[in-house]
């Protein structure tokens, strides 16, 4: 069901509307009454015949007409009864302001589940509970208990934190930032980020979307709709809960899981979402997109009257992988005529500390006419001869002749530069307290443009020619499940992979000293010998791995030593024998694995492998499915890629063949969703190809 009526209601019932100052019901009703909202508003209060001078109703069923939206602000234990009454009256849209649901524990979760089951049967949508409400400036509606209304604009803001909403609202009023929609969604009992993105995708008033996120439901649906939206409108997300402690705090706040932070990075990247790091980032990107919209101007020139800030700004830009524009020779010649001989003769353009408003004006005018430059950042420090307000006025005169270029401003200081900042912001030119904040906002727009270019490339399937034996793998898993096991033996795991043409070295499991001697000889020395047991996942820790066995006698002795060591490590372990494998000596050892994320499902992990995988910590992640593009991306994200592609004349590996292994691995995971964890470590590879040397599968 569309959220259009919920967020654009022509009539509203306020359940819990109150005349008692200081109550949520009082502020909520007063905000709507005091606004210029044109729709009808009906207070509902079981104890009063009038609320703030307006006729009140004891129950929503007593309303004289059907309404588009009910807003509930009463104690949590009474909410379900009101929801049932809304269903009787045919009210399909509800906002629950009340707290006391999933965030308080089992009792609240049970109540939430009851309400959710009911509204699904009656085709009702709910925003909240535990939320501030929402604001729609274009229809003059403040359906919240915030103290002030939002300025009208083109940015949609969605937040799980009501308190963050009030802070954002207060900041936005001072900083001239406007909104199309301003929505607090609280605990997301029903309506979540997916539903709101689906609505905002076609909302003509919304040009950009900002989100404060603590947790996520319907993750796969969210990523798919975000891809669609990002092609038309940028999405910027401040996702909190990165640390263990932060995640714990967020869970207690929303009653939801925060998820693996690295996986969120990967998921957002695939969806074209720019992830923000700090509140400052959120504030400053809001200012930039509200005033200037979204641009594709990445060639930046810095104009400054002080060398130090110019260097600081350049460092910030380059550290964020931004570009300094190359000033044309024609512009250099023009600048030489209007600037002192001691100007920097490059980018940043240092126009020297005694710069007058006229010098700023001429410099900016030359840069605006240079085709090599599409963005300008003005820095100003308040020296004795500087007149920040006059500089602002003069620059605006020039800028309005060339509005196709982006203009950013950072006047450094306090009261001395305040008037200059205000002049710019009245004309929708964003100003920033420090140049680093300006650069961060600028780079976040560039990130969006880069991500937008790649949206869809990760999802386009690639057909590779290989023979997969799905039915044989089904039989392997049926056997494991019938034996009530949660893990495959190494032999089973390798067979499971072989059935999808992810091959391992020649191997065989033996059950006696004599058989070990014979098999090792047949395979050919040197060999590796490993315990085969569903109960021993970490074989090295159990003394269950010996490499480089050189002869028949040693093979027999190693067999006995492995069995003895493993029994000492775990006397109850089921031992199926010892796996003997041809020892492979290839140049690189890789990790190819997967984990099941509680929010996004299977995640592929790739990187440097071997014994020191945790110490090296050189891995990258990608969501399923992998195709040629995403397989290429996950490989290139690792440091070992520089060696794999060939380094300083040394042989690398066939990267395309490696990508095909990752695509097969992805198909295997897609076909068998019951896999909880799958680790190939190491996957040994050189220019002649790769083989699985060890594998672990948990279901």
Spell out the residues 6+ positions from residue 483 whose beta carbon is closer than 8 angstroms to its own: none
For residues 304 and 377, what is the distance between their CA atoms, to the nearest angstrom?
Answer: 9
Q: Classify domain 588-698 at the CATH topology level.
A: D-amino Acid Aminotransferase; Chain A, domain 1 (3.30.470)
Question: Does 296-454 match 150-294 at the fold level?
Answer: yes
Contact 120, 144 (CB under 8 A): no
Q: What are the boundaries of each domain within the chain?
A: 1-132, 150-294, 296-454, 470-582, 588-698
The fraction of the chain above a pLDDT of 70, given in percent, is 97
pLDDT tens for 47-86 read: 888 999 999 999 999 998 989 999 999 998 999 999 999 9
pLDDT number for residue 246: 41
Residues 472, 475, 477, 480, CA torsion sign: negative
Would the pLDDT of 148 be above 90?
Answer: no
Contact 633, 606 (CB under 8 A): no
Q: Is the pTM of this model over 0.85?
A: yes
3-state secondary structure at position 682: strand
CA nearest to 69, candidates 151, 139, 14: 14
Q: What are phi and psi of 419, to 5 degrees?
A: -65, -40
User: How much is the average pLDDT of 417-429?
Assistant: 94
pLDDT band at 163 (very low <50, low <70, confident <90, very high): confident
DSSP 62: G
pLDDT number for residue 248: 46
pLDDT band at 281 (very low <50, low <70, confident <90, very high): very high
pLDDT band at 16 (very low <50, low <70, confident <90, very high): very high
CA nearest to 683, candidates 494, 463, 557, 442: 494
Would the pLDDT of 251 be above 60?
Answer: no
pLDDT tens for 107-139 read: 888 898 999 999 999 999 999 999 999 999 999
pLDDT number for residue 123: 96
Contact 98, 72 (CB under 8 A): yes
Looking at the chain, how many residues does it have?
699
Would the pLDDT of 513 be above 80?
Answer: yes
Contact 98, 73 (CB under 8 A): yes
User: How much is the average pLDDT of 447-454?
Assistant: 93
Contact 51, 108 (CB under 8 A): no
User: How much is the average pLDDT of 597-610?
Assistant: 90
Q: Is domain 1-132 in CATH 3.40.50.1820, yes or no?
A: no
pLDDT number for residue 247: 45
At 666, list the tokens: 């992805």
At 308, list the tokens: 């130090």
pLDDT tens for 626-655 read: 999 999 999 999 999 999 998 887 888 999
CA nearest to 209, candidates 191, 190, 225: 225
**Which region holds residue 211: left if phi is over 0, alpha if psi is between -120 and 50, else beta?**
beta
User: How much is the average pLDDT of 566-594?
Assistant: 90
Q: Between 246 and 336, whose confidence is greater?
A: 336
3-state secondary structure at position 181: strand
At 313, list the tokens: 């700004």
User: How much is the average pLDDT of 147-170?
Assistant: 92
Cα 270 from chain centroid (whole Å): 9
Alpha helices, DSSP H, located in 485-525: 490-498, 513-523
Q: Where is average pLDDT lowest: 3-12, 130-139, 260-269?
A: 260-269
Q: Is domain 150-294 in CATH 3.30.1960.10, yes or no?
A: no
pLDDT number for residue 193: 96
For residues 503 and 692, what is the distance between their CA atoms, to the nearest angstrom?
Answer: 6
pLDDT number for residue 452: 93
Q: At what angle do helices 552-569 and 513-523 cross, to 10 degrees?
A: 130
For 582-627, the DSSP string reads E----SEEEEEEEEEETTTEEEEEEEE-STTHHHH--EEEEESPP-
Would the pLDDT of 277 be above 90?
Answer: yes
For 296-454, CATH number out of 3.40.50.261, 3.40.1260.10, 3.40.50.720, 1.10.287.1080 equals: 3.40.50.261
For residues 394 and 424, what is the distance between their CA atoms, to the nearest angstrom?
Answer: 11
Q: Classify domain 470-582 at the CATH topology level.
A: Dna Ligase; domain 1 (3.30.1490)
pLDDT number for residue 256: 40
**Which region holds residue 236: left if phi is over 0, alpha if psi is between -120 and 50, else beta?**
beta
Query: What strand order describes the sheet that includes 208-213?
Result: 141-144, 133-136, 178-184, 151-159, 208-213, 235-239, 274-276
pLDDT tens for 359-411 read: 999 999 999 999 999 999 999 999 877 889 999 999 999 998 877 789 999 99
H helices then E strands: how many in the chain? Answer: 24, 29
pLDDT tens for 190-235 read: 999 999 999 999 999 999 999 999 989 889 999 999 999 999 999 9
For residues 400 and 525, what is the distance between their CA atoms, to the nearest angstrom?
Answer: 79
pLDDT number for residue 610: 83
């Amino acid at each position: 069901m569309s959220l259009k009526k919920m967020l654009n209601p022509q009539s509203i019932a306020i359940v819990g509307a109150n005349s008692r100052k200081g109550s949520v019901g009082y502020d909520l009703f007063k905000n709507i009454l005091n606004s210029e909202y044109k729709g009808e508003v009906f207070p509902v209060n079981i104890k009063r015949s009038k609320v703030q001078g307006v006729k009140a109703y004891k129950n929503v069923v007593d309303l004289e007409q059907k309404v588009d939206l009910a807003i509930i602000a009463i104690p949590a234990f009474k909410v379900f009864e009101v929801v049932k009454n809304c269903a009787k009256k045919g009210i399909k849209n509800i906002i629950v302001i009340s707290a006391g649901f999933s965030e308080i524990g089992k009792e609240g979760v049970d109540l939430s589940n009851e309400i959710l089951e009911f509204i699904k049967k009656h085709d009702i949508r709910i925003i909240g509970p535990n939320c501030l409400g929402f604001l729609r400036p274009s229809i003059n509606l403040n359906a919240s208990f915030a103290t002030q209304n939002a300025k009208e604009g083109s940015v949609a803001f969605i937040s799980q934190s009501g308190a963050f909403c009030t802070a954002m609202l207060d900041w936005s009023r001072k900083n001239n930032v406007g909104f199309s929609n301003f929505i607090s969604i609280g605990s997301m009992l029903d309506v979540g980020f997916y539903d709101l993105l689906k609505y905002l995708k076609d909302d003509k008033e919304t040009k950009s979307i900002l989100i404060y996120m603590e947790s996520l439901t319907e993750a796969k649906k969210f990523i798919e709709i975000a891809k669609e939206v990002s092609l038309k409108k940028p999405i910027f997300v401040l996702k909190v809960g990165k640390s263990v402690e932060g995640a714990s705090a967020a869970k207690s706040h929303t009653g939801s899981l925060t998820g693996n932070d690295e996986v969120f990075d990967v998921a957002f990247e695939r969806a074209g979402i720019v992830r923000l790091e700090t509140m400052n980032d959120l504030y400053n990107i809001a200012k930039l997109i509200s005033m200037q919209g979204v641009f594709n101007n990445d060639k930046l020139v810095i104009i400054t009257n002080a060398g130090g800030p110019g260097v600081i700004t350049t460092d910030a830009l380059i550290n964020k992988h931004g570009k300094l524009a190359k000033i044309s020779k024609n512009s250099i010649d023009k600048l030489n005529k209007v600037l002192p001989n001691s100007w920097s003769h490059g980018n940043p353009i240092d126009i020297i500390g005694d710069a007058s408003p006229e010098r700023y004006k001429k410099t900016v005018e030359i840069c605006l006419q240079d085709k090599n430059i599409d963005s300008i950042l003005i820095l100003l420090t308040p020296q004795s001869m500087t007149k920040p307000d006059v500089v602002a006025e003069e620059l605006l005169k020039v800028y309005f002749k060339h509005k196709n270029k982006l203009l950013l401003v950072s006047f450094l200081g306090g009261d001395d530069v305040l008037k200059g900042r205000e002049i710019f912001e009245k004309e929708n030119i964003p100003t920033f307290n420090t140049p680093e904040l300006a650069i961060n906002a600028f780079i976040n727009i560039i990130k969006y443009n880069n991500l937008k270019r790649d949206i869809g490339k990760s999802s386009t399937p690639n057909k590779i020619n290989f023979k997969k034996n799905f039915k044989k793998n089904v039989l392997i898993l049926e056997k494991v499940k019938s034996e009530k096991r949660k893990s495959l033996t190494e032999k089973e795991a390798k067979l499971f992979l072989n059935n999808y043409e992810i091959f391992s070295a020649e191997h065989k499991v033996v059950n006696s000293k004599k058989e070990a001697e014979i098999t090792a000889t047949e395979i050919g020395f040197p060999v590796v010998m490993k315990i085969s047991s569903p109960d021993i996942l970490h074989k090295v820790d159990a003394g269950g791995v010996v490499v480089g066995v050189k002869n028949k006698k040693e093979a027999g002795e190693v067999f006995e030593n492995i069995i003895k060591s493993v029994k000492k490590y775990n006397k109850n372990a089921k031992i199926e024998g010892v796996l003997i494998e041809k020892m492979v000596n290839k140049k690189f050892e890789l990790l190819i694995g997967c984990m099941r994320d509680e929010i996004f499902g299977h995640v592929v992990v790739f990187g440097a492998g071997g014994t020191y995988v945790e110490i090296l910590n050189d891995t990258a992640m990608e969501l399923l499915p992998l195709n040629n593009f995403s397989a290429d991306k996950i490989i290139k994200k690792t440091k070992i890629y520089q060696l794999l592609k060939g380094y300083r004349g040394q042989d690398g590996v066939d990267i395309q063949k490696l990508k095909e292994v990752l695509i097969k691995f992805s198909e295997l995971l897609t076909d068998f969703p019951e896999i909880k964890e799958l680790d190939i470590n190491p996957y040994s590879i050189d220019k002649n190809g790769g083989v699985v040397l060890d594998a672990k599968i948990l279901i």
